Amino acid sequence: MKKSKIVLSLASLSLVAAVAVGGTLAWMTDSTQIATNTFNIGSGFADDGTHKGLWLDETKIGGTSEEPENPAHPDQNPNNRTEEDQTYEGLRPNSTFAKDPTFHITEGSIPCYVIARIQNGDKATAAGYIFKAEDTSTETTLTANWKKVAGDNGKDDAQSMLGLDGYYIYVDKTTQEPLILDPSEATDDLTLEPLFRYTTLTIDISTEEELDKADGQQIKISGAAVQAQNATWEEAVEQAITTLG
């Protein structure tokens, strides 16, 4: 089938997210909890409806970065962001859309490491999706502040470290050393760099069979914050793997 015909077909990609809180996080919860299909766990909000602890958002479908209100992240306009799951429909080969899963830690939280998990990313990339830090990139790349520390099986063997699926810790983008994030005396929530910023459906799709494979793919983002006091980053990763499962 010619590409001129396949471009008339449509595909969809669903990306869901979860924020998990480990039992070591006394300021949020006393037990491990994982929420799926939502960006916040039950205790992720204070009684007044504001955020509490670790939370996650992203650009709304069709959102723009015009007139950003966050000087530290000029590409983000909070009026165009959402904490709800989104399904990207009507995707054609070579279509690119904003997708920037971004963790935040509320002001006053204790110092911690933040670990993210990506699931089903390898299946989505095999189906033709590219997750990338820069719009011009032609291959899957995460932003420089995220470093892979374990494969999706929780191991660091060579094979499991090759794919997108796995666990990532937030690091200094220059030294690549894990960062202790300290919002304890901050006057606003601490915003981390997103895992990636864009997703593209490859132009190389040329048959209806390939497009059917791309249709309905789902990638899950989850995250855990682990308190840094009396813990190494390696121990924090172990805790996160246990929490995020």
What are the tens digits of pLDDT across the range 183-218?
A: 888 888 889 999 999 888 888 887 888 888 888 888
Q: Mean pLDDT over all residues of the chain?
A: 76
- Give the pLDDT confidence of 109-149 residue by residue, as tens digits: 888 899 999 998 999 999 999 999 988 888 999 999 999 99
Total domain count for the chain?
Answer: 1
Q: What angle do CA 195, 199, 204 make, to 5 degrees?
A: 140
Q: What is the pLDDT of residue 234?
A: 95
Q: What is the pLDDT of residue 85?
A: 80
**Which of the given ranges, 14-28, 81-95, 114-128, has the highest pLDDT on average?**
114-128
Q: What does the block give as tokens for 175?
A: 């030294």
Q: What is the pLDDT of residue 50?
A: 63
- Give the pLDDT confidence of 45-86 residue by residue, as tens digits: 344 456 777 888 888 877 655 555 555 555 566 678 888 888
DSSP one-letter code for 123: H
Q: What is the pLDDT of residue 132?
A: 92
What's the pLDDT band for 10 if we cut at 50, 70, 90? Answer: low
Q: What is the pLDDT of residue 133?
A: 92
What beta strand segments (E) does 60-211 contain?
81-82, 86-91, 96-98, 102-105, 112-119, 129-132, 146-151, 166-170, 190-191, 198-201
CA–CA separation, 196 and 173 (whole Å): 14
Residue 230 has pLDDT above 50, yes or no: yes
pTM of this structure = 0.80
Greatest extent of the chain over all pairs of C-alpha atoms, in Å: 60
Span of 33-42, 83-92, 198-207, 219-228 with lowest mean pLDDT: 33-42
Domain that holds residue 169: 3-244
Residue 233 has pLDDT above 90, yes or no: yes
Q: What does the block give as tokens for 182?
A: 């300290």
Looking at the DSSP bridge assignments, the partners of residue 16 are 220
| Choice between 32 and 245, residue whose per-residue pLDDT is larger | 245
